[in-house]
Amino acid sequence: MGVIVLGSANEDTAVSVRRHPGAGETVLASSAGVGAGGKGLNQAIAAARAGASTTFVGAVGDDDAGARLRLALTAEEVGTRLARSDRVTGSAFVMVSAGGENAIVVVPGANQDAEALGREADAAVGAIAEGDIVLAQLEIPIDVVLTAFRLAGARGASTVLNAAPSAPLSDALLDVVDILVVNEHECLDAAGGDRRDVRGAAEALAARVGTVIVTLGAQGALVLSGGDVDLVAAHAVSAVDTTAAGDTFCGALAARLAAGEQLNAATRFASAAAALCVQRPGASASAPYAQEIGEFLAARAS
Ligand code: RIB
């Protein structure tokens, strides 16, 4: 079965800095580059590279950046349903520190064009088949995601929500999510309550959504499903750029679920994909291919 990613597409301008600047401070970058990004586009490319037949549903402006993003997707053999919006194509400004940590500012532009996005999403979801995976994040209007997930569920597809960037999640939305993927901050934000207890927050969310995966960086990923809780170990690697690590995890996870793999095995594959991603610079450019992920897992197992 296939993966349909509904989400944002940005043109990223990334700079490498020794450390992130503080308020009012100017720092010098050692390099700068422009590439295809946006959480949705990154996830679509990660899913395609991980081996899934993938379609990306999003919106771009009628401008050069939009044309470049369209080309980037096509070059990766990602099918596109890209609405052409009156707004400018989304852009993001990414600062990556020497330790690989990023700080990102997004200018959403066309990604917030609910009407254009909704039109494409309706058409795309109307064409999905039972068993497909529909993956979305929250850099686009939440109502577009809610409507698409309702339709996707009714057609027998599974829905995966990566609740990034963090936003309040309504009961109506959680009711139509099959798998929720969050990092620890997003988990605490989504659950409310005690802000120090990630495990408690994950359990509270798992009472509302069938499956919850909490990515914990170097601590691995907590998988809560059907009353079971498993910790999938992380791979110790030296990170040069953590940009799109979460996106790569989600794209690879969706690809393996679409291929019929069980949740824990798919999570192990996704963790390996993220471990490879952080060892390379860039957003979508850093997503690994299925063969590399397989080789990485095999090497770690031996
Ligand atoms: O998750 C990384 C992405 O966040 C970047 O590619 C940037 O465009 C922002 O959407």
pLDDT at 168: 86
pTM of the model: 0.97
Is pLDDT above 90 for 47? yes
- 175 catalytic? Reply is no
Tens of pLDDT, residue by residue over 203-216, are: 999 999 999 999 99
Residues 217/223, Cβ–Cβ less than 8 Å: no
Tens of pLDDT, residue by residue over 149-197, are: 999 999 999 999 999 999 889 999 999 999 999 999 999 999 886 677 8
pLDDT at 302: 73
Ligand 1 is surrounded, with C-beta below 6 A, by 8, 10, 12, 37-39, 42, 92, 104, 106, 139, 243-244, 247, 283
Backbone phi and psi for residue 74, each to the nearest 5 degrees, phi listed first: -65, -40
Give 171-184 as a 3 state SS string.
Answer: HHHHCCCCEEEEEH
pLDDT at 204: 93
Tens of pLDDT, residue by residue over 269-285, are: 999 999 999 999 999 99
Q: What is the mean pLDDT of the chain?
A: 95
Tens of pLDDT, residue by residue over 173-185, are: 999 999 999 999 9
pLDDT at 148: 97
Please tell me the distance from the alpha carbon of residue 13 to that of residue 78, in angstroms, as a whole number.
22
pLDDT at 300: 87
Instruction: Provide the CATH number for the domain around residue 62.
Output: 3.40.1190.20
Residue 94 belongs to domain spanning: 2-21+29-301
Give SS3 for 149.
Answer: helix
**How many domains is the chain partitioned into structurally?**
1
Of 114, 106, 68, nearest in space to 90 by CA: 106
Tens of pLDDT, residue by residue over 110-143, are: 999 999 999 999 999 888 989 999 999 999 999 9
Least confident of 178-182, 236-240, 255-259: 236-240
Residue nearest to atom 1 of ligand 1 (CA): 244
Residue to mutate, 10, 34, 241, ligand 1, most ligand atoms under 8 Å from C-beta: 10
